[in-house]
Structure 1
Amino acid sequence: MKRLCLALLVLFTLLVNPLRANAANIPRANTDEAIIDFPNTITFRAQLTANASIQSVVLEYGDNQLTCGEVIAKAFPEFTPGKTINVQWTWDMRQSGSIPPGATIWWRWRITDANGQESVTEKKTITWLDSTYKWQSLTEGNVRIHWYKGNQAFAREILAAAREGLARNEKSAGLKPNGTIEIYIYGDYDALRSAVLYTPSWTGGMAFPEFNIVIIGISPNNLEWGKNATVHELTHVLVGNLTFSCLGDVPTWLNEGLAVYSEGGLDSTSQRQLNQAIQQNTLLTVRSLSGGFSEVADKANLSYSQSYSIVKFLVETYGQPKMNELLLALRDGTPIDDALRQVYGFDVEGLEDAWRAAIGAKPRLAAPNPTATAQPTYVPTIVPISGLPVAVTPTPYVIPTSSISPPASAPTAEANAPRQNNSQEVNSIWLWTAIGLFCGCLLVLILLTFVVYLVREGRKGENHA
């Protein structure tokens, strides 16, 4: 029994000692931090120590946004190799573009020492947020409000509006949140726009579905507008959650129409503008609303109002399950025309016809069928595998429409001319080669004779002396 225990003890020691040795050799981070200069940069820096000289360091970093696959960004900071090194690298948002306030950033260091041993430090996270404000938080269900200006009653009204918006979206389109939605409320529009780089001057709120984040500029004296804006942006997050895909997208009229519909309806000014467009037959086509809206104020406002009216028609005529089915079809990459046919039995133009009839507008003017004309097919120039680089530019190349080959052209006189006899030219080359060799040999012989003469004259001089 004693021998068995001794054998087990020896075996345990043999197993544990290598593990201890490996643990001792793993590089460690003496310091590891991220410093935020909001909203411009975040600097990652660390002091790393290992038993062997550290030869390679790679910073791996990223954020928590929803993507089609795992995304790991890498940076290669400069440093002097050694057993203890200091490294740092700065992520400049002014070059890469901003991420929204409240996003989670993660990072870690991948280290390789002189022995070829690779290790990774512990993954760390930080919240990308302006720390100059004293943020407060309030959570209820799947919504969390963050604010710094205004009292608790102000925040609770925003939270209540958001909760009502969630319920309305689930009822009208079957939209549900995918996790907790973070809503950051800035004290005014200017503070909001300063939090995200390169934001248009007219921005009052922004939704980031891939982050589950909404940011809005709401002052306490503009609460009613803020409640509607919160529901509007919240809806964009819900639509983005349901339809996230790398295969297709949602047309603007549907996305914005659902957002306005979730607010509860149009205000009196927007409704009056829509009624006027119906009466004067100045409605925009539904297909034109599939892309970005106009920057002209009147057209932009009409675009939102029409989008609301179209979504209202679909939801209240065909029901919530159909709307949810349409969104799922778009998520799966089905083009909007095919998705509408699949769910409702009509395409975009058919939708416009049915919607116009429902609201009492004049029938849509059918666009004339364009005459088909032959267009050149552009074949790209391919970069050669080797050799000097060439510019990759599309080369216009018209694909022939006929398979009949043109008649062969008559052979030219140059092609038919007999080849000349080159025998005289070859003989001339051999002659001049022989002459050259003879002259070379003669020159060498003369030089040797001159050298021998000098040697003999030198010896005669020595004998006379």
Structure 2
Amino acid sequence: MKRALLSLLVLLILSVAMSPAEASPACPKPADAVRKLVKEKEAAVNSGNQKRFLRVIHPERRTYLREQKRWFEDAVRYIDPGSFRMEVESVSPERPFRLRARIKQSYRKDGKTYSVKYFLRFERTEQGWKDSDLAFERMAAGDVIVFYTDPRLKRQAAVALDIVGRAVDAFHEKYSWVPAEAVEVKLYHHPELFRQSVKLSLPEWAAGWNEAGQAIKFVGALQMEDWEESFASGLVHEVTHKMVSERTGDNAAYWLQEGAAEYYQSRLLPGLFSASDEQRIDRPWRFAVLESLQLEKLPVKEASQYYAQSAALFRFLIERYGEEKMGEVFAVLRKYPTIDRGSADKIPELNRRTRAAFKKVLGKTMEQLEREWISEYREGTSRGEGVPVSKKLAIISGLTAP
């Protein structure tokens, strides 16, 4: 009897949450309010109105708000004008003042249509119903929170919780890093959902993402056997980005970010990929080439070489000058003001700041460091070191140093 009464009470509460219109004729039903919000979001993208777009987002979801700001900036520049669509296929209650809507999202790029379906969560606030991010499952421990889009990712979420927590501790020992806020991780069960959640221009080869102030985002490996080692290493890669962003005030050059992430993903924690598993390089690229390339616009093979080249340069700097000096470089970079733009939009200025930081700490220009790197590489090659174990990737013509 108590169970029946409890069930009746829950249904009554949900019906109230779903039907506040009865209290005020001017207040739309929650499902109608959600549909209106979704259309507002669609119209804001197609009109390029960022303020209108961000008004839809839950104001207390700070990480999501920062992510959506960057998402919007990318979308309005990338997609075919006026092609963004969001359709509500269904709305259902999750609990009082929280709804779950099934969304079909699509856009066109160069005439080709891309679409994805997902569940979006809406919550009632003092300002009305607001978009509160995807309808994630959640687990947490300490200052790490893992969100995941599918119950089948629960095991990977548990692995992520452990790996990210240990990586944060390891970086505290190396660089005295204490995260500015709880470290959020978001796991996605489908690559296209991941890609469209990060930003619409993200290349299809990407499987992980982190940018300053955002959650670590990663594609789950539902169809992959023996996934734990590569999954864990990838998470360390993304935690490294978060650490470097915070220790430098998000002022590290792109190559420095990727070099550090590639280096530590195989060295930070025991039991992950070993250094011998790293992709080797045929010859070092000119430093100016690393500075000039935009990783996200490279084809997959060239992107892989960019990662390998950045890692090789970072490894040289660590082995020659040590982590203490690298920490000093981070500290100098942190003195610069943060630029409130996406990483790709500030490459030239971050290159300039990074050059100045290395010159201040090491007393050498990047061209001098480049010559040291190339000289050491040639010496290693003459001893039979540094030669690729297997040539998996083609070298980009014209990018290697003579």
What secondary structure, in the 3-state scheme, does the structure 1 residue paired with 2:210 have?
A: strand
- What secondary structure does 1:138 align onto? strand
The amino acid that maps onto 1:203 is: A
1:356-371 matches, cutoff 5 A: 356-359=374-377, 360=379
1:232 aligned partner, one-letter code: H
Distance 2:328 2:26 in 1: 51
Q: CA distance change for structure 1 residues 175 and 36 in 2, over 3 Å: closer, same or farther? A: farther
CA RMSD across the alignment: 4.6
- Say if 2:238 is the partner of 1:233: yes
Equivalent in the alignment of 2:307: 304
Higher RCO (CA < 8 A, seq sep 6+):
2
* Cα distance change, pair 151–300 in 1 and its aligned pair in 2 (3 A): closer
Which residue of the partner structure matches residue 76 of structure 2? none
Corresponding residue for residue 333 of structure 2: 330
Query: Are the counterparts in 1 of residues 194 and 217 from structure 2 also a CA contact under 8 Å?
Result: no
Letter aligned with residue 263 of structure 1: Q
1:161-199 Cα offsets, whole Å, 9 max, x none, are 212322333344444322112111112324423545343
Secondary structure of 1:335's counterpart equals: helix
Q: Retained in 2: the 8 A contact 1:207–1:213?
A: yes
Greater shift, 34-43 or 331-340, is seen at 34-43
SS of 1:184's equivalent in the other structure is strand
| 1:311 CA displacement | 1.9
* AA partner of residue 289 (structure 1): L
1:218 counterpart = 2:216: no
CA deviation profile, 1:3-60 (whole Å, cap 9, x unmatched): xxxxxxxxxxxxxxxxxxxxxxxxx98569662799986489xxxxxxxxxxxxx998
Matches within 5 A, 1:155-304: 155-196=157-198, 197-219=200-222, 221=225, 222-244=227-249, 249-265=251-267, 271=278, 273-274=280-281, 277=282, 282-290=283-291, 291-293=293-295, 295-304=298-307
CA distance in 1 between counterparts of 2:261 and 2:119 reads: 22
Counterpart-to-counterpart distance in 2, 1:312 and 1:285: 16
Going from structure 1 to structure 2, the CA distance change for 1:175 and 1:357 (only over 3 Å counts) comes to: farther
1:206-253 CA-to-partner distances (Å, cap 9, x unmatched) read 2232234424333263332221111212222222233336xxx32122
1:299 CA displacement: 3.4
Give the letter for the 2:137 counterpart. Q
Distance 1:93 1:201 in 2: 16
In structure 2, distance between residues paired with 1:306 and 1:358: 14
- What's the counterpart of residue 137 of structure 2? 136
Corresponding position of 2:3: none
CA contact (8 A) 1:188 1:217 kept: yes
Please say if residues 107 and 125 of structure 1, whose CA atoms lie closer than 8 Å, have aligned partners that are also in contact: yes
Letter in 2 for 1:338: A
CA distance in 1, matches of 2:311, 2:146: 27
Shift of 1:144: 1.0
Contact 1:175 1:324 in 2 (8 A): no
2:356 is matched by which residue type in structure 1?
A: D
Q: Deviations over 1:140-159 (max 9, x none)?
A: 22211122243654322222
Question: Equivalents in 2 of 1:37, 1:200: separation in Å?
Answer: 31
| Greater shift in the superposed pair: 213-222 or 250-259 | 213-222
Instruction: Select which of 365, 374, 377 maps to 1:347.
Output: 365
Tell me the number of residue pairs that the alignment of Structure 1 and Structure 2 aligns.
276
Q: Which stretch of the first structure deviates more once superposed, 342-351 or 228-237?
A: 228-237
- Judging changes above 3 Å, is the alpha-carbon distance between structure 1 residues 315 and 273 closer, same or farther for their aligned structure 2 residues? closer
Taking a change above 3 Å as real, the CA distance of residues 305 and 204 of structure 1, as seen in their structure-2 partners, is: same
- Secondary structure at the aligned position of 2:34 is classed as strand
Query: Greater CA deviation, 187-196 or 139-148?
Result: 187-196
Q: Distance in 1 between matches of 2:39 and 2:197?
A: 9
Q: Distance in 2 between matches of 1:242 and 1:103?
A: 33
Structure 2 unaligned spans of 5+: 1-24, 44-51, 73-104, 109-117, 268-272, 337-351, 383-400
Partner letter of residue 295 of structure 1?
L
**Residue 361 of structure 1: CA displacement?**
5.3
Q: Residues of 1 paired with 2:276 and 2:303: CA distance?
A: 13
Aligned to 1:145: 146
Q: Normalising by structure 1, what TM-score?
A: 0.48
Q: CA deviation at 1:263?
A: 0.9
* Distance change in 2, residues 1:199/1:318 (3 Å): closer
| CA separation of 1:122 and 1:217: change in aligned 2, threshold 3 A | same
Aligned mates of 2:322, 2:122 — CA distance in 1: 41
Determine which structure has the larger strand proportion and give its number. 1
Q: Alignment partner for residue 320 of structure 1, among 319, 323, 348?
A: 323
Judge conservation of contact 2:41–2:53 (CA < 8 Å) in 1. Answer: no
Report deviation, 1:287. 2.6
Give distance in 2, aligned partners of 1:332 and 1:187.
39
Tell me which structure has the larger Cα radius of gyration.
1
Do the aligned partners of residues 234 and 187 (structure 1) sit closer, same or farther apart at CA in structure 2, a change above 3 Å counting? same
Amino acid at match of 2:140: T
Q: Rate the CA distance shift 1:224–1:267 in 2: closer, same or farther, 3 A.
A: same
Measured against aligned partners, the alpha-carbon deviations of 1:283-337 in whole angstroms (never above 9, x if no partner) come to 2112321242372444332321222222223334433332222123223337222
Shifted more, 28-37 versus 234-243: the winner is: 28-37
Closer, same or farther in 2 for the Cα pair 1:362/1:344, shift >3 Å?
Answer: farther
Q: What secondary structure sits across from 1:273 in the alignment? A: coil
